[in-house]
Amino acid sequence: MNICGAKHLVLIGMMGAGKSSVGRVLARKLDRPLLDSDELIEQRSGRTVREIWTTDGEAEFRKLETRTLIDVLSGDEPSVIAAAGGVVLETANRTVLAESDAHVVWLLANVELLIDRVKSGTHRPLLDDDPDAMMRAMHRDRDELYRDVADAIVSVDNRSVQDVAKAVLRCAG
């Protein structure tokens, strides 16, 4: 699929794969807005991801995530969308991704790299208890889900953010 024909470019992948930083570079290169699903949820609700999670629970957070994903995918302006790691968990999200004319790129990373990267940041309540074990379990369990919805897969291992962005454009072009 050609990126010029695709309405939105959606980056999916595990926490720490670099969706937001690669998304920023791509948005600049393509002269498109960057829509980050976690950031949109925070702006709309006036609460942080962690606050929503703690007060309302994961299920409520996932509902907001689905609503946000549907909204951004139905937007008219072609955008770069950095979709949070858990977006593939809900069947409804996978369906809307598959049915949209967006180009969906999975940023695939070695689990050791991801574990190293997620040591900073506060918006990841899933990693509060045993981050390493959780990351390994999610990496294993979500593999098939990311694969299912991806139009293309780009490895981020041993690549700079700029190089990943270039690789995304190559496989989309």
Where on the chain is the footprint of ligand S3P (CB under 6 A)? 15, 38, 49, 84-86, 123-126
Residue (of 9, 15, 14, 1) closest to 145 by Cα position: 14
Smallest distance from ligand S3P to CB 131, Å? 11
Smallest distance from ligand S3P to CB 29, Å? 21
Residue (of 162, 99, 127, 170) closest to 14 by Cα position: 127
> Regarding beta strands 80-82 and 103-108, do their DSSP bridges make them parallel or antiparallel, or are they unpaired?
unpaired
Residue with smaller CB distance to ligand S3P, 78 or 125? 125
Residue with smaller CB distance to ligand S3P, 114 or 167? 114
> Regarding beta strands 34-36 and 9-12, do their DSSP bridges make them parallel or antiparallel, or are they unpaired?
unpaired
Smallest distance from ligand S3P to CB 30, Å? 20
Smallest distance from ligand S3P to CB 10, Å? 13
Residue with smaller CB distance to ligand S3P, 50 or 166? 50
Residue with smaller CB distance to ligand S3P, 1 or 143? 143
Residue with smaller CB distance to ligand S3P, 8 or 124? 124
| Amino acid identity at 36 | D
* DSSP 3-state of 23: helix
128-159 core/surface letters (b: 16 or more CB in 10 A; e: else): eeebeebbeebbeebeebbeebbbeebebeeb
Smallest distance from ligand S3P to CB 108, Å? 14
